Every structure is written in structure tokens, then in C-alpha cells.
């Protein structure tokens, strides 16, 4: 076996020459960002599917919530965070926030050369594969619903599907408060979802990366629902892109770096919950 190492401007690629084949390993990290801690569901899903990849996660908790911000403000935030991640030599950026994906993804794709993906298209594709009764429900923040990004993505795949959207911004605050299985959370779920149930909806996209935290609670209230977890879907898409573009890293166990613009007790609690108590520290980082 011959190991050749060539330095790049942004990171290192190792070409391992084995008779009859060449394995390319790219150790540059993947950048992931969200408006808060909900994107940790995406970070966890990517880590579980791609344990050898290095990950840098930023949660903009100091400017949370994003769901009530204007598109102009969301684009400015996304550009600031992207600039930081690029300074860390990332090979790919995942917008682990439906609100930012809806407002800023097309602009960031145009402005940057590396792959940048959001959670909306991945969720739409998965829901269309699992659609029941030709109806798909979407619960998301007010900004994501107002953008119309999910109906647009779904109808690009299947224009015949009926899409029922519901802003469920209050659920984000309940999750941030740590009220995962409280009665008030169950009542709020009922308030947001009952009209979908009345219309025989079964397939529901969790259109905010906070919402997978509530999967078990939602199923207690509505066990018949097929919940589309966008964090799992985006992890599959990341893997496909890395393989297709020869950007995958398979050399050693990946490192996770967690940053937040404000660190709260709730973030520590949920971080521990996501990573099963693993000692992954969170560092404070101010961007913008």
C-alpha cells in the first residue's frame, strides 16, 4: 500500500493507492448551522450515518427565533454564518434550519462554490415517496410556511398532491424550554394538527429541525401519523453528495465541534439528550 498526501488550499486529501483501486479521503469538515439547538438533530443524524466525517455545528441561539424574522434579515444572518464556516475550510454546508433554507439557500448556492444544501427538498422528496390519501401535511415556523417553500418543492415532484401547511412556532419555544412531554405540549400539538387529522392526513413533514425532538410526543397524541424526519433525510443526501463528488472521509473517527452564540441550560440539557451523554463540549461563538 502506498500513501500519497497532497496539501490543498482548504484541507488535505489523502490518496491511498491499492492495487486496482484508489480511495480518496477528504478530511475537511462539514459545516452545519441552525437558528438554535434544533439543528443538533441534523448534526446527530449526519454523525450516525457518517461517523468518520468531521463536523462543525453553529447554533445562533442569541438571535433565536428565526421564524419571526424578515427574509432580508435571515439572508444577512446566513451570509455571516457561511463566511465563518468558509473560514474554517468546510467542504460542504448544511443549512439545518427550514426557515433559513427557505429564505437564503438559493442565494448562498449562487454565491459559493462548495455544495450547500437545505432540509426542505430532502423532506419533500421523502414525503412524496410516502404520501397517503394524496395529502401531505407540513408543520413549520411561520416564516417557512409563509415562504411556500414546501408546497413548491412537493409540487415540483408531484403537482397533484394536496399540501396542508400549519405554522407551529409555539412548539419551538416549548422545546427550547425543555417541555418535551408536558401536557401543555400535547395540547398545543392537538391545536396545530387536529384539522389535518380531520382531513384524513397521514403523512406529515416535521418542517422544523426542532420538531423531531417531539416525535414520540406527537405519536402519543396521533399514533396513526407517518412523521417525515427531515434530519434523517438530509443525512442521506449529504452522504450521496460526498460520494458523488469524492469528498468523503473514511480515515478515522470524525470530530464534532459545537458552537452557539449564547449557551443556556436548555441547550446543555438537549445537547446531552441528543448525544446520549457523550462529552461533546459547546463553546460560545459570536458571529455578526
pTM over 0.85: no
Signed CA dihedral, 123, 129, 130, 131: sign only: positive
Catalytic site residue from 6, 43, 128, 208: 208
Residue 276 pLDDT: 62
Domain-embedded: residue 89: yes
Residue 69 pLDDT: 87
Residue 181's domain spans which residues?
A: 120-230
Residues 259 and 261: their CA atoms lie apart, in Å, by: 7
User: Does residue 238 share a domain with residue 104?
Assistant: yes
Residues 214 and 185: their CA atoms lie apart, in Å, by: 9
The domain that holds 137 is classified in CATH as: 3.40.50.1860
Identify the CA nearest to 214 among candidates 195, 192, 236: 192
Residue 24 pLDDT: 58
State yes or no: is 6 an active-site residue: no
The count of other CB atoms within 10 Å of the CB of residue 111 is 11
Residues 241 and 285: their CA atoms lie apart, in Å, by: 28
Q: What is the mean pLDDT of each run of 10 residues along the chain (288 residues)?
A: 34 44 73 89 92 95 85 95 98 92 92 95 94 96 88 96 96 86 97 96 92 94 96 92 93 87 80 69 88
User: Does residue 124 share a domain with residue 226?
Assistant: yes
Residue 95 pLDDT: 95
Residue 272 pLDDT: 75
State yes or no: is 128 an active-site residue: no
DSSP 176-203: HTT-SS-HHHHHHHHHHHHHHHHTT--E
Residue 278 pLDDT: 61
Question: What's the total number of domains in the chain?
Answer: 2
Signed CA dihedral, 163, 169, 95, 267: sign only: negative
Amino acid at each position: 500500500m502506498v500513501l500519497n498526501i497532497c496539501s490543498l488550499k482548504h484541507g488535505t486529501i489523502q490518496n491511498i493507492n491499492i492495487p486496482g483501486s484508489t480511495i480518496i479521503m477528504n478530511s475537511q469538515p462539514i459545516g452545519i448551522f441552525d437558528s438554535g439547538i434544533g439543528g443538533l438533530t441534523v448534526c446527530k443524524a449526519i454523525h450516525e450515518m457518517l461517523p468518520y466525517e468531521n463536523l462543525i455545528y453553529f447554533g445562533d441561539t442569541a438571535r433565536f427565533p428565526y421564524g419571526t424574522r424578515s427574509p432580508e434579515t435571515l439572508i444577512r444572518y446566513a451570509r455571516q454564518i457561511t463566511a465563518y464556516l468558509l473560514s474554517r475550510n468546510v467542504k460542504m454546508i448544511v443549512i439545518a434550519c427550514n426557515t433559513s433554507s427557505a429564505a437564503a439557500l438559493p442565494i448562498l448556492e449562487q454565491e459559493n462554490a462548495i455544495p450547500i444544501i437545505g432540509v426542505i427538498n430532502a423532506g419533500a422528496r421523502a414525503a412524496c415517496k410516502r404520501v397517503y390519501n394524496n395529502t401531505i401535511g407540513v408543520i413549520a415556523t411561520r416564516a417557512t410556511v409563509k415562504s411556500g417553500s414546501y408546497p413548491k418543492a412537493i409540487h415540483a415532484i408531484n403537482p397533484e398532491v394536496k399540501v396542508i401547511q400549519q405554522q407551529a412556532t409555539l412548539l419551538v419555544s416549548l422545546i427550547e424550554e425543555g417541555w418535551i412531554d408536558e401536557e401543555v405540549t400535547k395540547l398545543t400539538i392537538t391545536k396545530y394538527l387536529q384539522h389535518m387529522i380531520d382531513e384524513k392526513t397521514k403523512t406529515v413533514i416535521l418542517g422544523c429541525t426542532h420538531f423531531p425532538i417531539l416525535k414520540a410526543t406527537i405519536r402519543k397524541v396521533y399514533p396513526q401519523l407517518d412523521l417525515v424526519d427531515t434530519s434523517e433525510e438530509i443525512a442521506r443526501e449529504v452522504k450521496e453528495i460526498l460520494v458523488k463528488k469524492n469528498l468523503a472521509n473514511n480515515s478515522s473517527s470524525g470530530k464534532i465541534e459545537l458552537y452557539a452564540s449564547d449557551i443556556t441550560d436548555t441547550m446543555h440539557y438537549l445537547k446531552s439528550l441528543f448525544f446520549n451523554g457523550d462529552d461533546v463540549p459547546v463553546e460560545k461563538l459570536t458571529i455578526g
